[in-house]
Amino acid sequence: MTITYNFEGRTVLVTGAAQGIGKALAEFFVASAARVVVADRDATLLNDEWGGGNDNVLPLEVDVADRTSVDNAIAAVVAKWGSIDVVVNNAGIARDSVVWKLTDEQWDSVLAVHLTGTFNVTRAAVPHMRSSGFGRIVNVTSYTGMHGNIGQSNYAAAKGGIIAFTKSVAKETARFGITANAISPNAATAMVAAVPAEKLAEMTATVPQGRFADPSEMAAAVAFLASDEAAYITGVVLPVDGGVSM
Ligand SMILES: NC(=O)c1ccc[n+]([C@@H]2O[C@H](COP(=O)([O-])OP(=O)(O)OC[C@H]3O[C@@H](n4cnc5c(N)ncnc54)[C@H](O)[C@@H]3O)[C@@H](O)[C@H]2O)c1
């Protein structure tokens, strides 16, 4: 079997695609001939990065935490391209604090973007995937969602929730030609750059490969999980982390 990762004819939605991992994934899908919806709530950055007028790229200002925004976006994609075949739930934020200092806003916003956002997009996309008999859902979780982290109880709860959500959706949709999987990345992005230098050095020291990945290195795993050939793989969490989770 030759695996080409040719996504011609596929419509792919990547959330949080204005920068970091999401942008790198969207660039991969564009290069692989897909029709790509780049969704982000940062309209300025989205326009700066994706305003070039490529016919196969649809930039959409979407707040994944906002159900109306998501439902409108999915409807616009299906109206334009007729299907939604691959969804990458990648949008994310961090609002770190130890639990006894965590504000309602820090808790609510992190849960809303990661967990509710992943639900909002998935719920809106699955009916279209069921209609076409094909779907690939790739959710972006984290090592923290499996092991916890100091100062990140909100983020850990959201990312752990995404894993449980992914497995449930995988079971619910398995009969319809749809798979749902997750990746657990480790990549040098703005989110990581915001970590204090001393803490970042500690984190880097836990990576057996001794470095954070370039965001583009996440594409191989997402392409694999989104491919036609990965039809029999569902409900897994694939670490793309230089060995951190060993
Ligand atoms: N970078 C890592 O090492 C790492 C590790 C584990 C998990 N992750 C996860 O990977 C994903 C991408 O992270 P990144 O490092 O590229 O972060 P990033 O901060 O570089 O990019 C996140 C993007 O998401 C967008 N976004 C935030 N809230 C949104 C919303 N409500 N609606 C739509 N878009 C929104 C931002 O505008 C931004 O463009 C996140 O889910 C993050 O939790 C990253």
Mean pLDDT by 10 residues, the chain (246 residues): 76 98 97 97 97 94 98 98 98 97 98 98 98 98 97 98 99 98 96 90 94 96 96 98 95
Q: What is the pLDDT of residue 125?
A: 98
118 lines ligand 1 (CB under 6 A): no
Query: How far is residue 10's CA from residue 231's CA, in Å, rounded to a whole number?
Result: 15
Q: What is the pLDDT of residue 183?
A: 98
Q: What is the pLDDT of residue 2?
A: 52
Query: What is the Å distance from ligand 1's center to 190 Cα?
Result: 8
Residues 6+ apart with CB under 8 A from 164: none
Q: What is the pLDDT of residue 4?
A: 62
Query: How far is residue 245's CA from residue 236's CA, in Å, rounded to a whole number?
Result: 14
Nearest protein Cα to ligand 1, atom 32: 63
116 lines ligand 1 (CB under 6 A): no
Q: What is the pLDDT of residue 55?
A: 95
Helices 117-132 and 153-173 pack at an angle, to 10 degrees, of: 10
Q: What is the pLDDT of residue 3?
A: 53
Q: What is the pLDDT of residue 153?
A: 98
Tokens of 134: 């094909």
User: H or E segment at 108?
Assistant: helix 104-110
Reported CATH class of domain 11-240: alpha beta
Is 155 marked active-site?
yes
